[in-house]
Amino acid sequence: MQMAFMRGISTDVIRLGKKYRLQNFGEIYEFEVVGFMQGDNFTFKDLTTLETYEYQKLIEFGKGKDFEIIEL
């Protein structure tokens, strides 16, 4: 039986005010966490565009083979 291996950190250790890099389907986002919502959802500010996003909206189409979150 082959187990899936997730690189990087879990959303359980995401902290308010910290900066992270998320990679998914070849896209890379560097962001700062600005708020928490229900469950493992949170809002973040993109460090490049300064736009605010919801984590769940960003991954609503799934997690690619390259999915990874790391702390900056």
Q: Which residues, including other chains, have CB under 8 Å from residue 22's CB and lie 6 or more apart?
A: 28, 29, 31, 58, 68, 69
pLDDT of residue 55: 94
Which residue in this structure is represented by tokens 């979150």?
Answer: 69
pLDDT of residue 2: 44
Give the model confidence (pLDDT) of 9-45 as tens digits: 888 899 999 999 999 999 999 999 999 998 889 999 9
Mean pLDDT value across residues 35-57: 94
